[in-house]
Amino acid sequence: MNSSILRTMARLLASLLLMASLYLLWRGHNAPGGGFAGGIMAAAAFVLMSVAFEPMAGWRATRVSPLVLIPLGLAIALASAFAGVAAGDGFMAGQWVTVDVGGEVKLGTPLLFDAGVYLVVIGVALAVIIPLMGEEE
């Protein structure tokens, strides 16, 4: 498409969608959301960039190939699943650490698992959708 309005709004909306996707990722292990919902929203931001500019614009905007995000996300999710075994608990047992950053923040393996799912969803969505968009004529 060749619309300056679409391109301007796409930049703004993509930024907002990415921030909202990170919020969904962060809140997802305690509230509705999580890695899948956040990943879909982030993928939508990158697809929006592809629609507004050119098909590969969303792919390039990730800074890392979506084909790298998929195995990276799987590795992170698997590592979180085996963290419980390494700590002497069961498979996928939650492990938690409290970090003081002006207030107590609990970080744990469920968030790590969600981060892995987030990366896999972005990678798969972009690897499937962007090639289907084809080249500009």
Tell me the per-residue pLDDT of 53-72, one tens digit each, with 9 for 90 and over. Answer: 998 999 899 999 999 999 99
Is pLDDT at 3 greater than 80 in this prediction? yes
Of 38, 13, 15, nearest to 27 by C-alpha is 38
Q: Is the CB of residue 102 less than 8 Å from the CB of residue 45?
A: no
Q: What is the mean pLDDT of residues 39-56?
A: 95
pTM tops 0.85, yes or no: yes
pLDDT, mean over the chain = 91
Is pLDDT at 136 greater than 60 in this prediction? no
Is pLDDT at 44 greater than 90 in this prediction? yes
d(CA 96, CA 110): 9
Task: Give the pLDDT score at 106.
Answer: 83
DSSP the chain: ---HHHHHHHHHHHHHHHHHHHHHHHHTTTSS--HHHHHHHHHHHHHHHHHHT-TTHHHHHTSS-HHHHHHHHHHHHHHHHHHHHHTTS-TT---EEEEESSSEEEEEHHHHHHHHHHHHHHHHHHHHHHHHH----
User: In degrees to the nearest 10, what's the CA dihedral of 71, 117, 84, 95?
Assistant: 130
Which of the four pLDDT bands, split at 50, 70 and 90, describes residue 77?
very high
